[in-house]
Amino acid sequence: MSLRINSEAPNFTAKTTEGMIDFHNWIGDSWAILFSHPKDFTPVCTTELGYMAGLKPEFDKRNTKIIGLSVDPVENHSKWAHDIEETQGHAVNFPMIGDTELKVAMAYDMLPEGAGTTSDGRTAADNATVRSVFVIGPDKKVKAMLTYPMTTGRNFDEVLRLLDSCQLTARHTVATPVNWRHGEDVIIPPAVSNEQAAAKYPNGWKTLKPYLRVVAQPK
């Protein structure tokens, strides 16, 4: 199954470090960030998991649940968590999925169907493509996707910025410009006529080009 933006996020049941979950039920009415790792006890991922644990309060403020995935067993995740806390200064405070049969990795198009049905004997290099981030809305649709190589640590501050944009544009008919941060001006899309914009933004906007109109971020 090839995933695209606005595809329904594949549902699954899986064992996690916090017990069995049904993914869609676990999301509930929240947003969710699913981020994956090719193997436990890998150095780049160790730094990522620690940083994400430190950021969790920011995701909580945004009604967003975070969940990690690795193809290794949950028992290994628990052992890895000790290393993460020791080296990164943050204890893992979100569930980690044990995807030992590769079902979630394949459902999310991170491994090919021919990858097999077990994590046994697989190296991190075998799972190099299991390095993605999925932003999922309360409607269980994929809102954004990011994929990184094994050698490059992910920028989770950017994931938070991306989430802010996805949540804002889900509430309001606006778009966010390059490097936008919460509270900065936004763009009125071309699909919104000047008459419609006048009703929404009585204080006006700045027209840089007929197709590029900038307005203060709506509340």
The residues annotated as belonging to the active site are 45
In this structure, what DSSP letter does residue 39 have?
S
How far apart are alpha carbons 10 and 141 in whole angstroms?
9
β partners of residue 127: none
Q: What is the Cβ-side half-sphere exposure of residue 61, based on CA atoms within 13 angstroms?
A: 7
Say which residues have a Cβ less than 8 Å from residue 166's Cβ, sequence separation at least 6: 31, 135, 137, 143, 144
Compute and round to an integer the Cα radius of gyration of the chain. 19
The residue whose two tokens read 């975070």 is: 66
Q: Which helix (H) or strand (E) holds 21?
A: strand 19-22
Q: Would the CA dihedral through 171, 177, 183, 188 be positive or negative? A: negative
SS3 of the chain: helix, strand, coil, percent, to 5:
35, 25, 45
Secondary structure of residue 75 in the 3-state scheme:
helix
